[in-house]
Chains A and B, each alone.
Chain A
């Protein structure tokens, strides 16, 4: 089975597709293309993005996405001559909103208010170790559980730390669920109201030094936050176990998105390895913006006189050019052909390195660098024909 068929099969059979990759490689576009294809094939599909730059809305041809699911209107498809058999929905996660949602869901009424009003929480709820990724995973799971969609495609935040996304629940736990910390920074102690006697002198000293460093205020605010936040933990833990089970289970697959440059591919390989360590199924690689060798390297070295000769065959199109201008034009054609051949070869070689490093069964699908930018539904459909070519022809 070729790469296209394998990808198409995944998109037809899975319930969750997660696109991972570093920043700037076309992850959002790829997520949208996968979702578009599934919708064309008759599935009811949701593409969920965490991208703050409103790119997805851009490319789907709508003004904005909200924190709620939005259906892409059928007219948008008809405008470009498409007739989807299914439905395409999109949603952009507002990180703050999503995390507030987690708090509201798991915190008892008393702590809920205290957490939401804590200044540390307000400023940092979207940046505290792993919260973005956690909120995304949480929301994904919730939407999955509700069962309104046949397929959810998740566009993850760009990350340099491989799989923050899977590791997020655990990191969040490590950061907050630390009983020692909780006791150490029990509110009240900070103001010196309760006996320092319960702590060893060592701990008291550590604390004193630290508060000199951060200011007692921050510690106090942070410890209050930790204390209130700790009540969320039983719920979060149970939940993150289930999220993990879904993501590592047979209903989910991960697609690694990358650019053909060596540095991007190195990162993609690193992702691939980490996913393997997590026992996650990697459904394939998508390599965006692969540069085309218009002319093979040998032809690109054709003598300029031959190019002049072939151009001259076209008769009146070039006969008003002076011999110098014609030679000049032939020279430019050759220069451009050679430059594109070099770039295409660079891409080919790096992709070959990737190919050798992964299992034969993992599909690698290339998407060419197009002469236009991909930022509309029409553009997404163009990419679709190269990701799923055999499956996009109308019978």
Chain B
């Protein structure tokens, strides 16, 4: 198995099925980078901002905002990215306004296939290569990519554009993006999953499609929300034997709860095995966090755990 230390890359993408905790995992990873002293940019793509509440920061908008020491976040929307991109290309904002804020043009731009996705990726790309005094501005760019279906579509856009077109700015931009996306020295796409049937199936599919179609280098599978074993097998047996004789209802209910935990833990162990069997990538595991809401303290715990998993995986 090829081992990939995620900290050696600069562009880290996180995708996976909806509801598996992509945002939490991307945020935890970004936080771990920041704590290692790397200047990190965490990118959300056109979503209802979820990052800010975890960091206890103000709403993250389309302007890059500092949310922690060494850690900045931004929510890229197609509108803002297009404006930024066009202004950069046309040099003058007034020309942008004349061209792109024209009513007809606006409705046309909304409909142009692939343009939204391309400019969003283009902005992420721009930050990857952005330099100041000959040095990269960002040590790490972490992208909370959309869920499986949309994520694949988004990442496929530059490839589609280069196959339809043969010249023009969009074509050139797409070519530059592909080069970075496919560079194993720079990029790693990470697959976030839960140790459950549907997410694991979808992750296997995502892995195969990334390998065969996108050809974007992959980093690791991150199994999120995994229960830490609490009861040993023998303790579980003892509890079930005891359940036949215990009279106190609340203690019986505790044994039910223990059974539930054991069943779920076993189920997860089976799916972790399946991940290891089907996906030839290092697997990092994050524990289920028993907290009412993902707050900064819990996120920090996850960040530390993730770091030790990544570093530990190198031995």
Chain A residues with a Cβ under 8 A of chain B: 22-25, 52-55, 58, 119-120, 123-124, 127-129, 157-158, 160, 174-176, 178, 180-181, 184-185, 203, 205-206, 209-218, 221-222, 259, 262-264, 267, 292, 294-296, 299-300, 302, 307, 310-311, 313-315, 317-318, 321, 329, 332-337, 339-340, 342-343, 345-346, 371-373, 375
Contact = CB atoms under 8 A, between A and B. Distances in A.
Contacts of A313: 245-248
B64 interface: no
A294 B242 contact: no
B166 A23 contact: no
A7 B20 CA distance: 28
Contacts of A337: 253-254, 257
Contact of A371 (B171, B241, B264, B293): B264
Interface of A (DSSP majority class): helix
Contacts of A332: 230-231, 235, 258
A302 B254 CA distance: 11
A315 B242 CA distance: 8
Interface of B (DSSP majority class): helix
Contacts of A181: 104, 107-108, 111
Given A217-B166, A335-B230, A25 B19 contact: yes
B290 A342 contact: yes
A336 to B, nearest CB: 5
A346 B18 contact: no
A333 B236 CA distance: 11
Nearest to A126: B153
Nearest to B111: A175
B254 A295 contact: yes
Nearest to B199: A24
Given A333-B254, A333-B258, 6 more contacts: A206-B99, A211-B168, A218-B165, A314-B242, A329-B238, A342-B290
B99 A346 contact: no
B105 A210 contact: yes
Interface in B66-120: 86, 89-90, 95, 98-99, 102, 104-105, 107-108, 110-115
Nearest to A267: B48
Interface string B46-68: 01101000000000000000000
Contacts of B167: 215, 217
Contacts of B264: 371
19 contacts: A24-B17, A24-B18, A24-B20, A53-B202, A58-B201, A124-B160, A178-B104, A178-B108, A203-B104, A218-B165, A294-B256, A314-B245, A317-B245, A332-B235, A336-B231, A336-B261, A342-B290, A371-B263, A373-B196
